[in-house]
Amino acid sequence: MAPSADTSFAAHSSAQFASYEKDRQLTSQDTIYATSNGVPMPHPYETQRVGENGPLLLQDFHLIDLLSHFDRERIPERVVHAKGSGAHGFFECTNPIPELTQADIFSTKGKKCPVTARFSTVGGESGSHDCARDPRGFSVKFRTEDGNWDMVANNTPVFFLRDPAKFPHFIHTQKRDPATHLTHADDSTMFWDYLSQNPESIHQVMILMGDRGIPDGYRFMHGYSGHTLKFVNKQGDWVYTQVHFKSQQGTKFITQEDSANYSPDYSQKDLFEAIERGEYPKWDVSIQTMTSKQSEEVWRDQGINVFDLTHVWPQGQFPLTKVGEFTLNENARNYFAEVEQVAFNPSHMIPGIEPSADPVLQSRLFSYADTHRHRLGVNYQQLPVNAPRTAYKFGNFQRDGQMAFFNQGSRPNYLSSIEPIKFKARTVDLDKTHGQFVGDAVTFLSEIQPADFNAPRALWQRVFDESARERFINNVSGKMELCKDKEILKRQIAIFREVDDDIAKRLEKATGIKGYDGISSLSFNGTHNGMTKDSKLMTANGITLAKGTNLGHNNGAPCGNGTHLHSNGVNGANGIRV
């Protein structure tokens, strides 16, 4: 089609940005080969040189352009969740919950919004095997009328840690050894060393080494927020919330023995081809809720901490309520543009959804946006796959930087009285929602307590059948065979013994290693030991606490002396309520 006769820059830019979807749909037969500046070339293999046997010419822009771009094709891969698959679809609200949240996405039955989902392994590199025994990332971007809501979840309801500073250390143990460059598929020493020094990881270890450790692709697994969120209604009342994605396809798993028979890209292939066949995968979106009073009671009576990423909420006490479902019905046209460049951020929340004081969640609110700016650039949210789709035109004062496609025209880049920007009143009373925190600055590190073993014990005793227990022991003992330090394994078996002595005895028989009798005689370099009476073993790494300081036996759980105090809001600048 011939260019417009309009020679203005406005016409040019309008054509460029309007053509994104057209370009996405074009076939090769619809395009003419050209250099990056749009000049047609008769053949992509041609080069300019001095005669048929002379050197190349630097003036050959076509070749220089080709090689220079090729040299820069790769961007930094995700430091975690590097290997992944994604697709597009839509969410539909089936059971509105305006009494719980003012989030527009849950306001009306039949309310829909587009979504993009990405699934991934955690520890492996971008070329690693899809059938690795590893947790799976499960992220969904809901493009609501009030902005993007990103649920950055996993396929397990818990994780290996609850202290945020441990995360880089833990992930390093899931990567390659700095000396040998081997992964824990060949040498599991680092893997077990971390776990044996941080026993709060045991709940996730039980799941990882069980049948759910290798899900059968991405369609047959659930997703969990893991973190506790807050849902806030229009009256400013709030409840703690956990979000669950339940696969309507059911769940399936792959055994350790069978995993070697699958292709490295099995999960990608399965998801893509299912959607191409019209077998669109669906997930129910369900929630658990808990009041602030209930959160204090379950900590006091059951040792369950809603701010603890290693704990779960019993569904018998806090049943699931379905609020909607999402369907993936469209594959990416271009994997790099729509899956590799998609960026999920836990801090992307919409009015009616707020973070809790979960310390790992709080750290992720910063870290994800930071890594996106490193990986994709400061203007990563201008990429089509990341851009919001709101019911209003929005602007701000974030300008310039690399790849500023939408730089907000000539509008002022400061809060101007000459050309003022419009404002919408805040719909969430932050004072009422977040409470009033009063206290000294403290250093905090959690401690292991008996209640930390309750949920893992329930898995072994009530969820696993005998066949699942046998597979679990085979998976763990097989992984232990790759550990070079038997002292590490003695400690790990002691941690398993706190879950159930039956696990320890079976592992001792399978490995030939006698573990310690329990953890009361052990100290840990990463966790305070609340299960010992020996003061020399209580503190992590044997550190000496400051005079007058005691261990935080509350483990950061919510309590009425700060977490749930309320204060009255006040009016601030520009007439907004703060």
Catalytic annotation, residues = 81, 154
**DSSP output for 358-426:** -HHHHHHHHHHHHHHHHHT-TTGGGSTTT----SS----S---STT-S---TTS-SS--SSSPPP----
Contacts of 518 (CB under 8 A, 6+ apart): 494, 497, 498, 531
CA gap 578, 569 in Å, rounded:
6
For residue 287, what is the enclosing H or E element? strand 282-290
Please calculate the CA angle 257-124-167 and round it to the nearest 5 degrees.
120
CA gap 7, 22 in Å, rounded:
21
CA gap 137, 346 in Å, rounded:
13
Contacts of 86 (CB under 8 A, 6+ apart): 116, 117, 118, 119, 332, 338, 339, 342
Q: Is the dihedral of CA 122, 117, 241, 156 positive or negative?
A: negative
Q: Burial level of 347, CB count in 10 A (0-12/13-18/19+)?
A: middle
CA gap 459, 521 in Å, rounded:
25
Eight-state DSSP code of residue 72: T
The number of residues making up the chain comes to: 578
Q: Any known ligand binding at 380?
A: no
First to last CA, the chain: 53
CA gap 16, 35 in Å, rounded:
17
Backbone angles phi and psi of 495, in degrees to 5: -65, -45
Listed in order, strand segments (DSSP E) in 165-247 are 223-224, 229-232, 238-247
What is the pairing mode between strands 229-232 and 238-247? antiparallel
For residue 467, what is the enclosing H or E element? helix 466-480
Q: Beta partners for 85? A: 119
Extract the annotated binding site for heme: 368
Extract the annotated binding site: 368
